[in-house]
Amino acid sequence: MAVIDATEGSGRRRARFLKPLSGVLRFAVVILTTYLGLLAVTFFIGRVVPVDPVLAVLGDRAPASAIARVRAEMGLDLPLWQQFLLYLKQVLSGNLGNSVLTSRPVLEDVMRVFPATLELATFGTIVGTAIGIPLGVLAAVKRGSITDQVVRLIGLAGYSIPIFWLALLGLVLFYAKLHWVAFPGRIDVTYEYTFTPITGMLLFDALIQREWDVAWDVFRHIVLPGCLLGYFSLAYISRMTRSFMLNELGQEYIVAARAKGLSEQRIIWFHALRNAAVPLVTVVALSYAGLLEGSVLTETVFSWPGLGLYITNSLQNADMNAVLGGTIVIGSVFIALNLFSDFLYRTLDPRTRVK
Amino acid sequence: MTLLTVENLKVHYPTRTGLVEAVRGVSFTLGRERLGIVGESGSGKSQTGRAIMGLTPPSALITADRLDYAGIDLLRASARQRRSLRGGRIAMVLQDPKYSLDPVMTIGKQIVETLRTHARVPGDEARRRALEMLEAVQIRDPERVYDLYPHEVSGGMGQRVMIAMMLIAGPEMLIADEPTSALDVTVQLEVLSILDRLVRDRGMGLIFISHDLRLVSSFCDRVLVMYAGRVVEEIAAGDLAHAKHPYTRGLIDCVPKLGEDRHPLPVLDRKPEWAQ
C-alpha cells in the first residue's frame, strides 16, 4: 500500500510540475499534427489528380529526354514517401513552388491576393455580426411575433437566394442606376498607381496614411460586396443567435434575475446574451473562416482580385502549385481561427477554464 | 401587521385544448410570520408564489379579488413598480442553485447586482456589504467565495449564496420555493437554519413552499395545504396531528416512521370532490 501511495504521490508532483509546460506542449502537438495532416492531404491530392506537372511546365511537344530530365529535377522519380519529405521540406522553408500561370512564386502570389480576401471577409463579418446578433436577440425576445417572422424571413432569404444573383441585382441598382457605389475591382485606376499599400488591405492602409479620398474610393468599392457577404453571414448568425438566446431565456437563472428585480434590458443583453455568446463565438469564427476561403462567386462578379478568384483561375489552368499553395493558406487560416475561438471560448466561459 | 393579502387568487393558462386552471381561488394573509404551503406536484403552490412575485410567463391570466402587498395593489401596479418590489421588498429563493445562478458571472458580482439595482451604493461599499452578507449566510471565507463562479461551489454553498443574493437589498418578505429540495439531506438542515435565523432576525414574512410536510411543520407557524389549485386546509403547524381534512391526514400518513414495519404502505387518496 505504502509503495503505491509513494509512487502516486511522486507522479502527481511531477504532473503538477509539468502542468504549465504540458499546456504549451499539448498546444504545439495539436497544431503540428493538424498541420501535418493538412500537408499530407494537399500532397496526395497533388499526386492523385490527373495533371502531369512536367507536361504543365514543358507542354506536350517537348522531347522525351527533356521530359525525363525535368521529371528528375522535380524529384518525381523518387518513391512517394521521399517526395512527401521533399515537399514538407519545401513548404516549411516557405517554398510553395512557382505558379505556371503567373510564373512567380506561389507564396508571393498568395500574399498579394490574400489581403484582398481578408479585407472583404472582415468587412462582411463585421456587418454580419453587428446586425445579425441584435436581430437574433430581438427575434428570440419577441418569439412568435411579426418581428420574429420578419427576422426569420430575412435569414431564410439570405440562405436561399444565390449570392451572384443578389450581387448582379445590387450592381444594377446601386452602381448602374443610383451611382452610389464604385465598380469594378478594389480601387479606382486613378489611385491604383499613386497609392502605395502597406498591408494590402486597402481601406486600412488608406486610413492609417490619412489618404481620405483614397479611403472613400476604396470604401465605395468594398461596400456592396462587403454588405452582400455580410448579409450572407447575417442569415446564419441571426438564426443561431435566435436559437441560443431562446435556450438561455428559458433557463432558471433568468427567472432568478427577474426575481432580483433587474430590468428586462439588462436580463436580455447582459445575462442571457453573455451566456449565448459562448457558443456564438464558434459560429462567428466558422462563418468568418468560410468567407476567408474566398467567396468565388462574389469575387468573380465584382472582379475582386482575391484568393477565391486566384484559386479558381489556377484550377481552370491546371496550375497545381498555385491551387495547393492556396489550399495550405486556407487550411492555416482555419487552424488559426479555431485556436482563436478556443481561446475566446475560455475567456467567455469560466467552466471551460483549466485551473 | 399584515404584509400580504391574497383573496381568491386564480392563475389560468390558455392552451389549445382549453383553459388550464393552475390556481383556483387561493386566499390567505401573511404578516411577519412563517407560512408554509404544502402540496403535491401540480397542486399550484409554486404558481401561487410566482403569481405574487409577478414571475409567471406572459401567457398566464392572473385574477384576484385582492392581491395587495403593504398597501400596493399588485394587479394594478406598473411593470416598473413591480420590478422595484421584486428583490427590493419581496424576495424569492429558487429551488436549485445549480441552475438559478448565472454561470458566467462571479458570485460576488451577482450579489452586488441585486444591491445596486435597488439602492444607490458606491462600488466599494457594495462589495463590503456583499462580503458581510456572505458571512451572514455562514460562508467561512467570503473574500475567496466572492470571486468564485457558481460551478466552483457545492450545492449547499450555492444555495447560501442564493439566499445572500436575494436578501442583500433588505426585503420584508421572502418566498422560498422548495429551497432545500435539490440539496443533500445533510446540508438541508444547515441551509434551513441559516434561512430561519435571517428571517427571524430581520423580522421578515416568509412563505415556505415545499412538498415536505414534516419540514414545513417544524419550520413554519402556519400551514396551508393545497390540492388541485385550492387550499383544502389551513392549520397551525403545531396542530398538524389534529388535521381534519382527509387529504391532509393522507399526507401525514404517508410519512414513513422509523422502526415501523408497514405493509402495505398507504396510498394517497385523491377524491374529485375535494377539488370542488
Cα(A295)–Cα(A287) distance, integer angstroms: 12
Q: Report pLDDT digits (tens) over A295-339.
A: 888 898 898 888 989 988 888 887 888 888 888 888 888 888 888
Q: Give the count of domains, chain B.
A: 1
Q: Note whether B217 and B223 are within 8 A (CB).
A: yes
Is residue A18 scored above 70 in pLDDT? no
Q: Where is pLDDT greater, at A78 or B200?
A: B200
Q: How far is A262 from chain B (nearest CA, A)?
A: 7
Residues of chain A found within 8 Å of residue B84, distances taken between Cβ atoms: 261
CA atoms within 13 A on the CB side of B13: 14
Cβ-proximal residues to B43 (8 Å cutoff; 6+ apart), any chain: B226, B227, B228, B229
- The answer to whether A260 contacts B86, with C-beta atoms less than 8 Å apart, is yes
B151 touches chain A (CB under 8 A): yes
Q: Which grid cell sits at B2?
A: 399584515
Q: Which domain holds residue B97?
A: 4-275
Q: Is the peptide bond before B264 cis (omega within 30 degrees of 0)?
A: yes
Look at phi and psi of residue A217 and say left if phi exceeds 0, alpha if psi is from -120 to 50, else beta: alpha
Q: Which pLDDT does position A6 carry in this prediction?
A: 41
- In our burial notation (b when 16+ CB lie closer than 10 A, e otherwise), range B130-161 reads bbebbebbebeebeebbebbbebbebbbbbbb
Calculate ∠ Cα A124-A128-A129, nearest 5°: 120
Q: Which pLDDT does position B91 carry in this prediction?
A: 94
B53 touches chain A (CB under 8 A): yes
Is residue A42 scored above 70 in pLDDT? yes
Which amino acid is located at A98 in the chain? N
Class of domain A106-352 as given by CATH: mainly alpha
Q: Where is pLDDT greater, at A116 or B269?
A: A116
Is residue A10 scored above 80 in pLDDT? no
Q: Average of pLDDT values for B213-225? A: 87
Q: Which pLDDT does position A11 carry in this prediction?
A: 44
Q: What is the 3-state secondary structure (H, E, C) of A180-214?
A: CCCCCCCCCHHHHCCCCCCCCCHHHHHHHCCCHHH
Cβ-proximal residues to A262 (8 Å cutoff; 6+ apart), any chain: A271, B83, B87, B113, B117
CA atoms within 13 A on the CB side of B178: 17
Phi, psi of A101 (to 5 degrees): -70, -50
Residues of chain A found within 8 Å of residue B83, distances taken between Cβ atoms: 261-263
Q: Which pLDDT does position A227 carry in this prediction?
A: 94
- The complex scores an ipTM of 0.90
DSSP track, A56-125? HHH-TTS-HHHHHHHHHHTTTTS-HHHHHHHHHHHHHTT---B-TTT-SBHHHHHHHHHHHHHHHHHHHH
Which of A253, A259, A278 lies at the smallest CB-CB distance from B102? A253
Which of A182-196, A219-233, B232-246 is predicted most confidently?
A219-233
Cα(A285)–Cα(A125) distance, integer angstroms: 9
**How high is the mean pLDDT of chain A?**
85
Is residue A8 scored above 60 in pLDDT? no
Which of A259, A261, A275 lies at the smallest CB-CB distance from B103? A275
Residues of chain A found within 8 Å of residue B117, distances taken between Cβ atoms: 260-262
- The answer to whether B86 contacts A278, with C-beta atoms less than 8 Å apart, is no
Q: Which pLDDT does position A72 carry in this prediction?
A: 81
Q: Which pLDDT does position A153 carry in this prediction?
A: 94
**How high is the mean pLDDT of chain B?**
89
Parallel/antiparallel/unpaired status of strands B61-63 and B66-69 = unpaired
Lowest mean pLDDT among A23-32, A281-290, B102-111, B137-146: A23-32
Which amino acid is located at A286 in the chain? L
- The answer to whether A261 contacts B83, with C-beta atoms less than 8 Å apart, is yes
Q: Note whether B225 and B40 are within 8 A (CB).
A: no
Is residue A139 scored above 90 in pLDDT? yes
Cell 521530359, residue located: A67
Give me the residue spans of the domains in chain A.
12-92, 106-352
Dihedral Cα A252, A258, A263, A264, nearest 10 deg: 50
Q: Average of pLDDT values for B141-147? A: 94
**Please, is A271 exposed, middle or buried when counting C-beta atoms within 10 Å of its C-beta (0-12, 13-18, 19+)?**
buried
Q: Average of pLDDT values for B145-153? A: 94
Q: Which pLDDT does position A176 carry in this prediction?
A: 87
| Number of residues that this document lists for chain B | 276
Which of A252, A260, A275 lies at the smallest CB-CB distance from B104? A275
Closest residue, chain A, to B51 (C-alpha):
A259
Residues of chain B found within 8 Å of residue A265, distances taken between Cβ atoms: none
Q: In terms of Cα–Cα distance, which of B183, B204, B208, B163 is closest to B48?
A: B208
Q: Is the peptide bond before A184 cis (omega within 30 degrees of 0)?
A: yes
Give me the sign of the Cα torsion angle A39, A44, A49, A51.
Answer: positive
Q: Average of pLDDT values for B216-228? A: 89
Q: Which pLDDT does position A20 carry in this prediction?
A: 57
Is residue B251 scored above 50 in pLDDT? yes
**Cα–Cα distances in angstroms (integers) from residue A23 to residues A26, A27, A28, A35, B231, in the given order:** 5, 6, 9, 18, 60
- The answer to whether B102 contacts A275, with C-beta atoms less than 8 Å apart, is yes
Chain A residue set in contact with B, beta carbons under 8 Å:
251-253, 255-263, 271, 274-275, 278, 348-351
pTM summary value: 0.84
Q: How far is A282 from chain B (nearest CA, A)?
A: 17
Q: Average of pLDDT values for A210-232? A: 90
Q: Which pLDDT does position A181 carry in this prediction?
A: 85
Task: Describe chain A by its helix, strand, coil percentages, rounded to 5.
Answer: 80, 0, 20
B107 touches chain A (CB under 8 A): no
Q: Note whether B47 and B56 are within 8 A (CB).
A: yes
Chains A and B form CB pairs within 8 A to the count of: 73
Q: Report pLDDT digits (tens) over A141-171.
A: 999 899 999 999 999 998 899 888 999 999 9
Proportion of chain B above pLDDT 90, given as a percent: 55
B87 touches chain A (CB under 8 A): yes
CATH code: domain of residue B187: 3.40.50.300
- The answer to whether B103 contacts A260, with C-beta atoms less than 8 Å apart, is no
Cα(A251)–Cα(A228) distance, integer angstroms: 35
Is residue A187 scored above 80 in pLDDT? yes
Give me the sign of the Cα torsion angle A256, A259, A260, A266.
Answer: positive
- The answer to whether A261 contacts B114, with C-beta atoms less than 8 Å apart, is yes
- The answer to whether B94 contacts A275, with C-beta atoms less than 8 Å apart, is no
Residues of chain A found within 8 Å of residue B95, distances taken between Cβ atoms: 252
Residues of chain B found within 8 Å of residue A275, distances taken between Cβ atoms: 102-104
B55 touches chain A (CB under 8 A): yes
Most B CBs within 10 A among A260, A344, A347, hence the mutation to make, goes to A260
Q: Report pLDDT digits (tens) over B184-197.
A: 888 888 888 899 89
Most A CBs within 10 A among B55, B56, B100, hence the mutation to make, goes to B100
Lay out the sheet containing B90-93: strands in order across.
Answer: B90-93, B173-177, B205-210, B34-38, B222-227, B230-236
- The answer to whether A258 contacts B86, with C-beta atoms less than 8 Å apart, is yes
- The answer to whether B100 contacts A349, with C-beta atoms less than 8 Å apart, is no
Residues of chain A found within 8 Å of residue B91, distances taken between Cβ atoms: 259
Q: Which grid cell sits at B266?
A: 398507504
Residue A49 DSSP one-character state: S
Q: Note whether A304 and A116 are within 8 A (CB).
A: yes
Q: Average of pLDDT values for B156-162? A: 93
